[in-house]
Structure 1
Amino acid sequence: MVETYARPRFGEPREPKNLVNPGNRLVRMIDAVTVSHARAVAFLLVCGLLLFLPGFFTIPAIDRDEARFAQATKQMVESGDYVDIRFQDDVRYKKPVGIYWLQSAAVEAASAVGLPRAQLRIWVYRIPSLIGAVGAVLLTYWTALAFVTRRGAVFAALLMCCSVLLGAEARLAKTDAMLLFTVVAAMGALSRVYLSWQRGEDPEHPPWGPPAIFWTALAGGILIKGPLILMFAGLTIMTLAIMDRGAAWLWRLRPLWGLMWMLVLVLPWFVLIFLRAGDTFFADSVGGDMLSKIGAQESHGAPPGVYLLLFFVTFWPGAPLAVMAAPAVWRARREPGAQFLLAWLLPSWIVFEAVLTKLPHYVLPLYPALAILTVGALERRVLSRSWLRRGAAWWFAIPAITSVVAVIGAIIVTHQPVFLAWPFVAASLIFGLFAWWLYDDGRAERSLLNAGVAAMFLAFVVYGAVLPALTPLFPSAEIARALRNVVCVGPKAAAAGFHEPSLVFMTGTSTQLTDGSGAADFLSQGTCRFALVEQRTERAFVQRAEAIGLRYNVAKRIDGYNISQGRPVSIAIYRSEGTE
């Protein structure tokens, strides 16, 4: 037996009619949680924690972006200066202050409840990203309710929750999960205003709720990552105005009051940083960071089409279903709901493909539109029955490829079999295989749920078992552990040849980044000092030590791999024994 649904137009949500239970346990679970909004939200919250928490506490700080954000926040907490943004003595003006304030709040709260060494625990700095990721899942549900049924909204949120890209960003202490949160809030509010106008609703007193959410979300997005959120909203509005030959509905956003409210939230910090640093912040953030992405910034250049290729991995397990939904979505492109979602998705996607600098997370704020469009086709049972159905095999291919690479990679790097991952590997493969084999047009929901369970077990494999075991990939953590075990009080360090931000974060803001000769000079200046000398700079260190008569010994040698530079490293920890 199959389920039958009313087939609403995009933007005209209705509840399912004559729902017949197919007997599948996973589908029955969805039947139960979609009885009410409270159950649906609770279910999505649990799913978010199950998918995002593996590895959240155990993976060390990742170079370079995460460690840079965390160190800048740590210095903010240490100094008590919540206006300026610095990495050691250098200003860090690539992004506004929003994420640093959120991370500082997390650190201060953790310290207030008595967490030991809260400032050194990277997972504390990840809390805003976790909140942003879970919040974005819930806001995807809320946004989807304007387009599909409650059941469909749960599936759209699940597609976001299970996506590979959001799973990675939820575990990184940087801006992108929180930016996604603000974008989905803004676009969800914007969609309600637009669709109410399309339906001909003309209330005497338009509600204040959606405009308030929209302008507040824009302000939050600007404080998190600058004007990028304005591009998503602006391109959507411009596209809709062109397609509708007018934009009278924008007055329902109360733009005059909204702009004033947004400026009230945003301007104070920008004024303070201008008074502190002049135009340096704007030159670094707009000119040095944002505009430089038009070129190939930091060797991240790539040709157009890269995001489309990455989509099949980063939006897994939703990607196969999205491909099967694409023909139906395009046929429905003039319907109000589909038109809005495509205006959200396509213009910004084209901009990202055209810009030379490409990083996978740039397109993350567009994935909620993809998820809702996909579920809209799923609910209307108009998924493609052509050769595109062969893409269902991708539900099994990703767990198979990822599991093999993760386990074999762990054995090569650590020379250990990482047995903890194996049961989760087996479960991920089984559910991925079920998703593929059981797929048909009438039971696409069942396959998607099996793929979601496969994604959950895959998260345990990659983030919960394998990555924390790859200690050679995190030499900074090993160095910091060695320094914590020394017998002297208040050790100080200087690093030569290994200058990764994670080292500064884990060993202390005062860690000096120098060369081999400078490390020898540093070591000669007192007791309880340690020189962290990478093998390539040891010759200069030894020569300078001999020249100044420095006596030293090797406390420990740490061999590892610098993932930022893609090369092995061997770092000796030298301690002074005095001078001759």
Structure 2
Amino acid sequence: MNTTAADRRALAWLLLAALLVLGAGIGLRDPWPSDEPRFALVAKTMVESGDWLFPRRGSELYPDKPPMLMWLQAASYLIVREWRVAFLLPSLLAGLGTLVLVWDLARRLWSPRAGLLAAIGVLSALMFGFQFKRAQIDPLITFEITLACYALARHLLLGPAWRWYWAGCFVAGLGVITKGVGVIALLMLLPYVLARRAGWPGLARKQGDGWRWALGAPAFLGAIALWLVPMASVALTRGQPEYLDYMRNILFDQTARRYAGQVGGHYGKGWWYFGPVLLLHFFPLSLAYVAGVRDWAAGWRERDGRLAVLVGWCALVLLFFTLAAGKREVYVMPMLPMLAVALAPTLLRLEHAAWLHRTALALAVGFGAVLLGLSAWALSGRWARLQATMLERGLHADELRPIFIWVLVAGAAFLVAAAVFRARRGVPALLAGLGAFWVVWGVGVAPLANPSVTSAEVMQAADRIAGPDGEIVMVAWKEQNLLMAPRPMHDFGFRNEPAEQFERAVAWLREAPERRWIFARHVAVQACVDRDRVTLAGHANRWQWWMFQLDAVRPGCRLPLRRPAEAAADDEGD
């Protein structure tokens, strides 16, 4: 399908809006717990150590996730030389890439206007804005799964195009070494086979050549081998327990067992769990669900192979995560782009529907009123519970007030947009309000909240307390502590029990008690520390952080081992 100059201009405006919405605030905040500091720390360690094959978190290897995101963050730093930008850059680029893929696939399957509306539906979804403004693995894996599905659809629905098919299999393999679940892109083959056997139109013409289909397997496995072969070879060559344990953990505990619920099963929810997620987190795209189901039913009667493949894939992905013991809202985010493509004809049909514009306008006014009311209530000082929570987080009244002034601005933006666009253009009013909200969040709220959410100020205080000649060891620490430390820090592992870390740290103190300090989370060590000899480094993420030397340690005291429930509750402080 030919792309006109008007189509290209529409895409350019869409990407400009996406850059504003997703990019607002980049460079204005540090990584936020719980995952962002972990990945940024691993990437920073890669750059500093030169070892990109085996990620490290402090003194120990980090086996929880494959290193793809950390590689991209490290590479971004080598380009921009600023960690506040580099750690978010992969998510921003993944978001822009996802929108382009959605636009182009829906354009080819339906029409240029349908492609634009599908991409707008993805950009405006609450989950998309929230997640793609964060430095998590989920934005990257969503882009990779979308790219794999796009490539497969170019072959299955618009082909034959064997190079696109092989590329899709290869990208699915890259998704596997990003988060494991990249393989779900290949589920698109199942509804294609069923629709093909049923003789449905809308699919690529007869293709044959079984050996070409079979080449998808080496393309998929080859992408995985790019990381797996050198990693396993080096681990086996070194033969050290640390590297062998890393290989076992990342290949088994963090893939098959995690899906089965043996690891990460504490996320277990009922089979209905993703229903509200699809309604609320995919809003406002979810406004088109009812009309979309009617269109899909009509497409089923007309035996439309395009809808069979797209909707069938979305249903299989939903089933995949529903059957898993571990469930989190973000797991279904890779569905969003293909769901929007499947809804593209519906979005085109509803574009001028009066009921949709009236509903969108009412929602814009409602959101604006709620944000204005909440901010006014908070600024009046009557929201005591909120203030107590913020104080617990380290935010004081003089810091809290500017945050709610920005919230008030976001609420006003919704109302201004509603007044400008009015009922006949209620959808643009709602979209403008949502866009303004994310911009306000990025440039206003997040920078103000940054000191209380991160450990930057605490680590600077610890640095001052230790003095220029002091040495610091961390006990019961968080990744953000090491990431934001102004000086090199010692540690005795991250996964080790705080009791073991504390015991080894005390022995380390005895070697040079006059210049060595322990930096620790107070709840983990207070049973064996004299509070009167402690220097408070500060508060961050609901924790107090202590600095003390050997004279504060109670002789002969041993910390108790934590029970699993206590460990889980302890980690919720992030």
Question: What band does the TM-score fall into relative to the shorter chain?
Answer: 0.7 to 0.9
Query: Alignment partner of 1:330: what SS?
Result: helix
- One-letter amino acid matched to 2:299: A
Matching residue of 1:22: none
Matching residue of 2:544: 570
Query: Mapping of 1:476-495 within 5 angstroms?
Result: 476-483=455-462, 488-489=467-468, 492-495=471-474
Q: Deviations over 1:374-428 (max 9, x none)?
A: 3311223499999999687555555655676678487552323222342232102
- One-letter amino acid matched to 1:218: A
Query: Mapping of 1:70-89 within 5 angstroms?
Result: 70-89=40-59
Query: Which 5+ residue runs of structure 1 have no aligned equivalent?
Result: 1-12, 16-33, 112-117, 198-205, 547-551, 562-567
- One-letter amino acid matched to 1:137: L
Distance 1:304 1:391 in 2: 30
Select 1:310's aligned residue among 254, 262, 277.
277
Matching residue of 1:295: 261
Instruction: State the shift of 1:46 in Å.
Output: 1.0
Query: Alignment partner of 1:176: what SS?
Result: helix
Distance 2:488 2:99 in 1: 35
Identity %: 19
Distance 2:149 2:524 in 1: 52
Change (3 A) 1:433 1:488: same
Matching residue of 1:115: none
Change (3 A) 1:400 1:322: farther
Select 2:520's aligned residue among 533, 545, 560.
533
Count of residue pairs the alignment pairs up: 510
Matching residue of 1:349: 318
Change (3 A) 1:384 1:93: farther
Matching residue of 1:417: 401
Matching residue of 2:571: none
- One-letter amino acid matched to 1:293: Y
Select 1:275's aligned residue among 221, 233, 246.
233
More helix by share: 2
Select 1:186's aligned residue among 113, 137, 148.
148
Q: Deviations over 1:252-311 (max 9, x none)?
A: 994344444444443132111112335645632343123323327252121122222022
Instruction: State the shift of 1:342 in Å.
Output: 0.2
Q: Deviations over 1:40-83 (max 9, x none)?
A: 33222211111112333233322222222222222222221121
Matching residue of 1:44: 14
Matching residue of 2:75: 105
Equivalent pair of 1:328/1:384 in contact (CA under 8 Å): no
Q: Structure 1 residue 500 and structure 2 residue 478: aligned?
A: yes
Query: Mapping of 1:116-135 within 5 angstroms?
Result: 118=82, 121-135=83-97
Equivalent pair of 1:219/1:262 in contact (CA under 8 Å): yes
- Aligned CA RMSD, in angstroms, stands at 3.7
Distance 1:257 1:406 in 2: 58
- One-letter amino acid matched to 2:336: Y
Q: Deviations over 1:521-579 (max 9, x none)?
A: 55553566443333334544535x99xxxxx662x442343xxxxxx322233468999
Change (3 A) 1:368 1:383: farther
Q: Deviations over 1:11-56 (max 9, x none)?
A: xx899xxxxxxxxxxxxxxxxxx84343233222211111112333
- One-letter amino acid matched to 1:380: R
Distance 2:308 2:447 in 1: 44
Q: Structure 1 residue 245 and structure 2 residue 224: aligned?
A: no
Equivalent pair of 1:533/1:573 in contact (CA under 8 Å): yes
Query: Alignment partner of 2:543: what SS?
Result: strand
TM-score, with length taken from structure 1: 0.77
Select 2:453's aligned residue among 456, 474, 482.
474
Distance 2:549 2:358 in 1: 63
Change (3 A) 1:268 1:103: same
Select 2:443's aligned residue among 434, 449, 464.
464
Q: Structure 1 residue 450 and structure 2 residue 401: aligned?
A: no
Distance 2:36 2:265 in 1: 16
Matching residue of 1:375: 344
Distance 1:326 1:380 in 2: 13
Distance 2:67 2:521 in 1: 34
Equivalent pair of 2:107/2:113 in contact (CA under 8 Å): no
Query: Which 5+ residue runs of structure 2 have no aligned equivalent?
Result: 237-243, 493-497, 554-574
Distance 2:415 2:90 in 1: 32
Q: Structure 1 residue 558 and structure 2 residue 528: aligned?
A: no
Distance 1:181 1:401 in 2: 33
Instruction: State the shift of 1:519 in Å.
Output: 5.3
Distance 1:207 1:73 in 2: 37
Equivalent pair of 1:325/1:382 in contact (CA under 8 Å): no
Query: Alignment partner of 2:26: what SS?
Result: coil
Instruction: State the shift of 1:138 in Å.
Output: 1.3
Equivalent pair of 1:328/1:383 in contact (CA under 8 Å): no
Matching residue of 1:542: 529
TM-score, with length taken from structure 2: 0.77
Distance 2:49 2:121 in 1: 41
- One-letter amino acid matched to 2:74: S
Distance 1:531 1:358 in 2: 38
Distance 1:146 1:106 in 2: 32
- One-letter amino acid matched to 2:144: T
Distance 2:208 2:141 in 1: 23
Distance 1:153 1:528 in 2: 64
- One-letter amino acid matched to 2:434: A
Query: Alignment partner of 1:357: what SS?
Result: coil
Distance 1:385 1:174 in 2: 38
Equivalent pair of 1:325/1:383 in contact (CA under 8 Å): no
- One-letter amino acid matched to 2:229: V
Equivalent pair of 1:489/1:528 in contact (CA under 8 Å): no
Distance 1:136 1:406 in 2: 34
Distance 2:416 2:32 in 1: 31
Matching residue of 1:28: none
Distance 2:429 2:211 in 1: 41
Change (3 A) 1:265 1:35: same
